[in-house]
Structure formats: C-alpha cells, structure tokens
C-alpha cells in the first residue's frame, strides 16, 4: 500500500461495466473500497451509484432520486431490460429521428438495451446486453458478460469474448465459445513462448472457470487469437452486430 502510494485514496469509483464480486473483494482486502455506478451518455451520464456507506458488492448502485427505473419484459428469474425516465434523459439524437424512435417507446421510457433486475431497496444488478443473449438447448438464457466476468483475475488473458454459435441447426440450440487473446506480457515474464504451452494453459484456465459455472453456462470451445480484438475508447471489445447463431466452424477451435 505504502509503496504504491495508495494511503490517500478513500474510494475507487468504477463504471463502464460491472466488476466481478471477486475483483471487488480483492481490493477490499487491501483496504480499498470500490463504489460502482451505472449510466450511459444518453442519461447524462449516470443514473445509479452505490452509497459509500451502504454499497452492495454485486450491485451497480442505487437509483438516483427523481429518476424512474423499471425492468421490462422480464423472464422467469425477473431479469429484463432496464428502462429509465427522468430529467437526466436526453431528448433524442441530433437530426436522427429513426434512432430516437428506437431509443424511446410510446410511453416515454428510454430503453437502455441492458439486462438486469432491481432489488427491494431499488439497487440495480446488471447481467448483460439484450443483443448478446445466448439461448441454450434447454431454453436457458446465458449472459456472455456474466461468464466473461469470471476471467477478470486471470492475468494470462488480455481479452476474452464469449459468444454463441449454432450448435444444432435443427433445434437452433446455441453452444458457447470463447475468443481469447493471450497476455503477451504475462507469458513473456514466464519465459513461455511456445504456442502449445500457451494453448494448454488457457484450456486449463477455461476448465477452472467452467467448474464455477452452472452446466448450461459452460464454455464448449475456445479459439486463441493472434491479434487483439478492436475496442472502444473505454476499452470494451467491439462485438459484431451479429455475434450469435454463427454456423459451426471447427477450424481453429479447441474443444474444452
């Protein structure tokens, strides 16, 4: 702590995506509290924040005063799309009526495209993005971001993207695959340069995470990438517009 000059820090505020609870716990063990918030540019830009005196580990915060937030089109577990009303919401997109019409419904709710749920104290919990949702053979919903969060403390992985692929063309069931870009810095520090050794290590990492997941959420196969995936200005991976129901392509993939 002293060497890293962290003694003067009171709180660390995290945004841009939910942190895995285990990541938060690790920082708490160092005496550093993470306070998570949630919002988007269209909501100016924050709509929830964990109170420093009463934050919840897995939540992205409590809904601000003067803001209405609901969960629409919920599934059997109460998870649905987060929608918002209030003075923080934008009026629309400049000279883009089509995009504005997609953002708001007829009742004036701003549709975030994020999936989650609210607890009884109006704390928000995020599970993923609606357009990234994977549906298993048994009809279970799988949120890629939720699976990706399990890899936050695996230093050998620089980037990981979980997505669905069309495992059965008859039933339209989806399998789960992981695209992984290894951390060159990590393997260079170990003096490991052989691709076979890296492949075995990454497969073991995925197997370890699979043991933490429910059976229907487990990764079926992985592809190790030679180049990093493109990212946004906030370092989020740019997911393809169509990133699920891809045809089966065994070339370059390894079964887990």
pLDDT tens-digit map of 31-67: 787 788 999 999 998 999 988 888 888 899 999 999 9
Q: Are residues 198 and 113 in the same domain?
A: no
Q: Does the pLDDT of residue 210 top 50, yes or no?
A: yes
- pLDDT tens, position by position, 192-202: 778 889 999 99
Residue that terminates a domain, selected from 104, 131, 158: 131
The answer as to whether 251 is a domain residue is yes
Q: Is residue 164 part of a domain?
A: yes
Are 84 and 156 within one domain? Answer: no
Whether residues 88 and 179 share a domain: the answer is no
Angle subtended at Cα 121 by Cα 119 and Cα 126, rounded to the nearest 5 degrees: 40
pLDDT tens-place string over residues 121-169: 999 999 988 888 888 877 788 999 999 999 998 999 999 999 988 877 7
Q: Which of 76, 105, 131 is the last residue of a domain?
A: 131
Considering the entire predicted model, what is its pTM? 0.73
pLDDT at 66: 94
Q: What is the pLDDT of residue 160?
A: 95
Q: If you average pLDDT over every residue of the chain, what do you get?
A: 86
**CA–CA dist 96, 142 (Å, integer):** 33
Are residue 112 and residue 24 in the same domain, yes or no?
A: yes
The total number of structural domains in the chain stands at: 2
**pLDDT score for 252:** 66
Q: Do 195 and 151 fall within a single domain?
A: yes
- The pLDDT of residue 21 is 79
Judgement on whether residues 148 and 112 belong to the same structural domain of the protein: no
Q: Which residues span the domain enclosing 90?
A: 11-131
Is 174 part of a structural domain of the chain? yes
User: Are 147 and 63 part of one and the same domain?
Assistant: no
**173 or 56: whose pLDDT is higher?**
56
Task: Give me the pLDDT at residue 40, please.
Answer: 92
**251 pLDDT band (50/70/90 cuts)?**
low
* Better pLDDT: 173 or 151: 151
Q: Is residue 110 part of a domain?
A: yes
Q: What pLDDT was estimated at residue 34?
A: 77
The CATH number of the domain holding residue 189 is 3.30.300.30
**Residue where a domain stops, chosen among 79, 114, 131:** 131
Instruction: Based on the fold, state whether residues 147 and 223 are members of the same structural domain.
Output: yes
Same domain, 59 and 145: no
Residue 1 placed within a domain: no
**30 in a structural domain:** yes
Q: What is the pLDDT of residue 167?
A: 79
* One domain, residues 57 and 147: no
Would 6 be classed as within a structural domain? Answer: no
Q: Does 3 fall in a domain?
A: no
Looking at the predicted structure, is the pLDDT value of residue 2 above 80? no
pLDDT surpasses 70 at 10: yes
Instruction: Indicate if 75 and 121 belong to the same structural domain.
Output: yes
User: pLDDT at residue 245 above 50?
Assistant: no
CATH code: domain of residue 121: 2.30.38.10
Same domain, 98 and 190: no
Which tens digits make up the pLDDT trace of 95-123?
999 999 999 999 999 999 999 999 999 99
């Amino acid at each position: 702590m002293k060497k890293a000059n962290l003694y003067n820090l009171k709180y660390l505020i995290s945004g841009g995506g939910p942190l895995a609870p285990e990541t938060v716990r690790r920082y708490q063990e160092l005496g550093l509290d993470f306070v998570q918030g949630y919002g988007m540019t269209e909501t100016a830009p924050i709509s929830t924040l964990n109170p420093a005196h009463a934050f919840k580990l897995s939540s992205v915060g409590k809904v601000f005063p003067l803001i209405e937030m609901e969960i629409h089109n919920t599934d059997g577990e109460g998870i649905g799309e987060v929608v918002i009303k209030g003075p923080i919401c934008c009026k629309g997109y400049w000279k883009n009526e089509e995009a504005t019409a997609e953002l708001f419904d007829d009742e004036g709710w701003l549709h975030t495209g994020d999936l989650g749920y609210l607890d009884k104290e109006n704390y928000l919990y995020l599970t993923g993005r609606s357009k990234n949702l994977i549906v298993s053979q048994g009809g279970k919903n799988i949120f890629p971001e939720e699976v990706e969060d399990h890899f936050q403390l695996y230093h050998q992985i620089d980037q990981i993207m979980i997505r669905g692929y069309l495992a059965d063309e008859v039933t339209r069931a989806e399998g789960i695959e992981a695209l992984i870009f290894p951390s060159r810095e990590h393997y260079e520090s170990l003096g490991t340069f052989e691709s076979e050794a890296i492949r075995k290590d990454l497969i073991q990492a995925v197997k370890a995470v699979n043991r933490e997941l429910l059976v229907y959420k487990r990764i079926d196969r992985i592809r190790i990438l030679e180049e990093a995936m493109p990212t946004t200005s906030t370092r989020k991976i740019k997911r393809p517009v169509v990133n699920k129901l891809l045809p089966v392509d065994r070339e370059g993939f390894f079964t887990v």
